[in-house]
Amino acid sequence: MANVYASSVFKPGIFQSKVVFCTGGAGTICRRQTEALVSLGANAAILGRKKEVTEKAAAEIQSLRKGSKVIGISADVRDLKSLQDAVALSVKELGRIDFVICGAAGNFIADFRHLSANAFKTVVDIDLIGSFNTVKAASSELIKNKGSVIFVSATLHYYGVQFQSHVGAAKAGIDALSNALAVELGPFGVRFNCIAPGPIDGTEGLARLLPDGAREQAIKAVPLQRLGSINDIADATVFLFSDAASFITGTVSVVDGGAWQTGQMQALAYPDTVLNSDKLWNKMKKAKL
């Protein structure tokens, strides 16, 4: 596979005998998070709604390290029973669960005037309720193994971001959930942290958020003058799951090159985009985005 995860920073085998349970594991960011952990010694279970896609991704991730075991499970994070069954299968096949990545997410561009109540609820159900269900299903394993959880959050609720009210609300809830669980399950030895990706190149989310021809302008709005990569998120994941972060819990690690501090990237072409949202909405419907 091209561009697989490789690191000169982290020691090989640091996650030997560990098992990661990752929702959304066939997606761009969460797949690379899983690839990093498997490359460094872990075994894994990745979850997704599309059975064939998820199983194919699992087989490809397994090929990254000789002797690794990676299973793909079809599950819907909105259904607690589905996740409980996935946890049971993971423990049966892999022996345990040490790390959980809550990465399943729904996103699309929609201004408030065109956003339906059902669409808003769908995103909250996948992102926030799905994160709750995932931890709920895996909680006994996490407590038994003094495990660690990473929620994939965002920076979209740090200030007003056009066309992202549904996602911003869901991610704000995830941050609050992580904080509460860090306090409640900390005495049992379980850690909870969030990673908030910023503009990550090569992801569907960034492609949807950037107006046509705005790539160079977006890069200029990032203080570090580049877009992020999925390896940037993977590196943060490795650190937070490693022993180097054993006293870190209840935090949000923003991995965005400082982009949210300027606020400019999310405001590209504002307010024209909002005032012309009817035209944009019709274009998206035609393209079936």
Residues annotated as catalytic (active site), given as ranges = 153, 171
Coil vs helix vs strand at 72: strand
Coil vs helix vs strand at 195: strand
DSSP 8-state symbol, 228: B
Assess contact for 165 and 115: CB atoms under 8 A. Answer: yes
Q: How far is it, in rounded angstroms, from Cα 12 to Cα 66?
A: 13
Assess contact for 31 and 58: CB atoms under 8 A. Answer: no
Q: How far is it, in rounded angstroms, from Cα 134 to Cα 100?
A: 8
Residues 6+ apart with CB under 8 A from 33: 22, 101, 103, 150, 233, 234, 237
Assess contact for 61 and 53: CB atoms under 8 A. Answer: no
Query: For residue 243, what are its two tokens?
Result: 């022993």
Residues 6+ apart with CB under 8 A from 162: 111, 266, 267, 270, 273, 274
- Nearest C-alpha neighbor of 238 from the set 193, 199, 275, 270: 193
Q: Which amino acid is at 212?
A: D
- In order of 54, 67, 130, 176, 257, the CA distances from 74 in angstroms are 7, 23, 14, 28, 34
